[in-house]
Homo-oligomer: A and B are copies of this chain.
Amino acid sequence: MSRAVPLDSVDLKILAALQNNARLSNKELAATVGIAPSTCLDRVNRLRETGVIVGYQLRVDPAKLDRSLEALLYVRMQPHRRPLVEPFVEHVLNQPETRELYHLTGPDDFLIHVAAENANALQRLVLDELTARDEIALVHTNLVFQRWLGGPLLPPEE
């Protein structure tokens, strides 16, 4: 269901261009990659249908929303059993501070990226929403100085 999809050089140009600017109009995109708008529309639709393009995400500045304290929370679950995982994931995703959640190999089972109003809000989140739960054995909190996004994601070179 999630195998790699054959992509030609036009597809790759489209993906690179849209990852640089997801709001390019179809017309601009077509001009950028050098094909007709109708063809371009077909290509983009196919990239969506095949699941290469998953969605379009708004990026907001957490600081502008009074959430300037970002942190990564490393969470250990004990026992680390399937019936406990799903409710925990849902609980985390329901917290308004949650930006991303990872389920991981390694000593820590989860990593949560959160954006809180201040240290008080972060403390409340850790103590009341995480360590208060029986299955949560441990939470380590690391503050985020800065965060960068990688460039366009493309298939590995041959």
A interface list, Cβ under 8 A from B: 2-5, 7, 15, 18-19, 21-23, 50-68, 72, 89, 93-106, 108, 111, 113, 115, 117, 121, 140, 142-151, 153-156
The docked-state distance in angstroms from the alpha carbon of A32 to that of B3 is: 36
Contacts of A149 in B (CB 8 A): 57, 99-101
One complex includes copies of this chain to the number of 2
Query: Considering only CB atoms, which chain B residue lies closest to A63 in the complex?
Result: B2
Which residue from B4, B15, B22, B100 sits with its C-beta under 8 Å from A150? B100
Least distance between A70 CB and chain B CB atoms (Å): 9
**Contact (Cβ within 8 A) A52 B60:** yes
Contacts of A148 in B (CB 8 A): 89, 93, 100-102
The docked-state distance in angstroms from the alpha carbon of A103 to that of B142 is: 10
